[in-house]
Amino acid sequence: MDSFRFLTAGESHGPTLGVTIDGVPAGLALTAADLAVDLGRRQRGYGRGARQAIESDRAEIVAGVRHGRTLGSPILLLVANRDWENWGAVMQAEPLTEEQGAELRAAAAEGVKRATPVTRVRPGHADLAGALKYGHSDIRNVLERASARETAARVAAGGVARAFLRELGIEVWSFTAEVGGVAADPARATRSREETDASPLRCPDPEAEARMIARIDEARSAGDTVGGVFEVVAHGVPIGLGSYVQWDRRLDAALAAAVMSINIVKGVELGLGFEQTRRFGSAVHDVIDGRTDDGRWIHRSNNAGGTTGGVSNGEPIVVRGAVKPISTLAKPLPSADLITGQPVDRAHYERSDISVVPAAGVIGEAMVMLTLARVVLETLGGDRMDVVRERMAAHRRLMGTAPAGPEIGGRASTPGGDEAGSGGDD
Ligand code: EPS
């Protein structure tokens, strides 16, 4: 059975979002206050739209936890949509009464946008392919679920994974690396992790951040949107998570899929990523300096981003997500009508954000944490936290201990001696 398996539900303007998380060990300390931290971080960031002034996300723990400890049973979290109150019959689950139907039609005839079915598809959104796939004539049936509002539920689930990983000495954070082509410069990254988190774009380089903000302002005044890059870093990940023996057990692949699943992400890199293709091997591969007396393996650099051969190698995991510009533009692109199939001057416009790179980083953290939590339990097993903690301690010890020297021709050889050489890559 998969550990930390989770499924979300909920529409953007429905009453609530929800997430069920299955396979969380018993005995983990967990409160709603723990989950509130990341939910708050996800809502912030320069470039967010008016919706965030309405919402104040909190996760209610409604199952799987008793007196502040997980039970080992499925956890159910609910994150209410405050905006739902403003949508009324447009989003109700029950069939419309005749009276309600008549009221909505009258409102639509008067030009009330919310009451009007959406038919002008937005380029870059799920609108067209989604409506055709599910046979919807009102694109609202697609956009309500394709909306990135859903990621609030993922971040709530990510909070559970954070509490779990923290007990095992694994910490995950993120920052904004790029917005609209302006990149943070590591040499000018003067802010601490706390200062970065409190800054308008969650960027460690204040000078680059000022130019990123200018790019967002430029997009806003042009009725446009702008994307960027976030970087998620996981510290304290032991050697030996994931595997090279089968494609679906590779940690790098699992992380890439998890981050790619975020609504707005169009590319994922680990470590140096695509930059590796522009360098010689000697300028890419991380030289291994050996094992310290306390059992840590030292790499001279971390261009691989913490995994080699699909296995964590003890260095920090570094995952970057490419965030496309939001597809709902205040100055809409030309498009076409779903029903008539004819071109229209302007796609549908629905209130939206200008840029969400800092929020996407927090969502990236959640997806990385949920993936790591699953793989940790796949590796260690354990239904209860005391057992998982013990197994993690044993695993860390083992990863820092020398294996017995290899057997050659039936006799044990000297570790590190010439005859113990691997003989190359074949
Ligand atoms: C979104 C559109 C906006 C965003 C929303 C994602 O919502 P609304 O149409 O209600 O203004 O604010 O994101 C969130 C609500 C959120 O909490 O992240 C979209 O179309 O994807």
pLDDT tens column, 226-239:
999 999 999 999 99
Residue with the smallest CA separation from ligand 1 atom 16 is: 149
pLDDT of 108 above 90: yes
Quick count: other Cβ atoms within 10 Å of Cβ 305? 24
| Residue 172, pLDDT score | 98
| Residue 410, pLDDT score | 63
| Residue 421, pLDDT score | 44
Would you say 152 and 57 are in contact if contact means Cβ atoms under 8 Å apart? yes
Cα separation, 157 vs 402, in Å, equals: 37
22: nearest Cα among 81, 77, 66? 77
Two structure tokens written together for 277:
């293709």
In terms of Cβ atoms closer than 10 Å to its own Cβ (0-12, 13-18, 19+), residue 328 is buried
Average pLDDT of the chain to the nearest whole number: 94
Rounded to an integer, the average pLDDT of 151-179 is 98
**pLDDT above 90 covers what percent of the chain?**
91
CA 236 from centre of chain: 19
**pLDDT above 70 covers what percent of the chain?**
96
pLDDT of 15 above 90: yes
418 vs 388 pLDDT, higher one? 388
| Residue 412, pLDDT score | 57
| Separation of CA 281 and ligand 1 centre (Å) | 43
pLDDT in tens, 32-88: 999 999 999 999 999 998 888 899 999 999 999 999 999 999 999 999 999 999 999
Class of domain 5-84+148-380: alpha beta
| Residue 420, pLDDT score | 43
| Separation of CA 288 and ligand 1 centre (Å) | 46
Q: Ligand 1, residues 151, 351, 352, 354: which to mutate, most atoms within 8 A of Cβ? A: 352
pLDDT of 361 above 80: yes
Q: How confident is the model at residue 275 (pLDDT cuts 50, 70, 90)?
A: very high
| Separation of CA 55 and ligand 1 centre (Å) | 10
Whose tokens are 């996300």? That residue is 57
Q: How confident is the model at residue 419 (pLDDT cuts 50, 70, 90)?
A: very low
| Residue 103, pLDDT score | 96
| Residue 426, pLDDT score | 44
- How many CA atoms within 13 Å lie on the side-chain side of 278? 4
Residue with the smallest CA separation from ligand 1 atom 13 is: 149
Q: What is the value of pTM for the model shown? A: 0.95
Q: Is the CB of 356 under 6 A from ligand 1?
A: no
Q: Is the CB of 125 under 6 A from ligand 1?
A: no
392: nearest Cα among 372, 410, 408, 416? 372
| Separation of CA 188 and ligand 1 centre (Å) | 33
Q: How confident is the model at residue 403 (pLDDT cuts 50, 70, 90)?
A: confident
| Separation of CA 127 and ligand 1 centre (Å) | 15
Cα separation, 162 vs 150, in Å, equals: 19
Backbone angles phi, psi at 186, to 5 degrees: -55, -30
- Which phi-psi region, left, alpha or beta, contains residue 33 (left: φ > 0; alpha: ψ -120 to 50)? alpha
Q: Picking from 64-78, 277-291, 404-418, which range would have the lowest pLDDT averaged per residue?
A: 404-418
Residues 6+ apart with CB under 8 A from 208: 182, 183, 184, 185, 188
Q: Is the CB of 79 under 6 A from ligand 1?
A: no
Q: Is the CB of 51 under 6 A from ligand 1?
A: yes
Ligand 1: atom nearest CA of 42 is 18
Q: Is the CB of 12 under 6 A from ligand 1?
A: yes
| Residue 29, pLDDT score | 98
220 vs 417 pLDDT, higher one? 220
Helix (H, G, I), strand (E, B) or coil at 17: strand
Residue 410: DSSP 8-state: T
| Separation of CA 121 and ligand 1 centre (Å) | 17
Helix (H, G, I), strand (E, B) or coil at 228: strand
| Residue 407, pLDDT score | 82
Would you say 122 and 147 are in contact if contact means Cβ atoms under 8 Å apart? no
pLDDT in tens, 176-193: 999 999 999 999 999 999
Domain residue extents for the chain: 5-84+148-380
419 vs 224 pLDDT, higher one? 224
R_g over Cα of the chain: 25
Written as one string, the DSSP assignment of 118-153 is P-BPPTTSSHHHHHHHHT-SSTHHHHHHHSGGGHHH
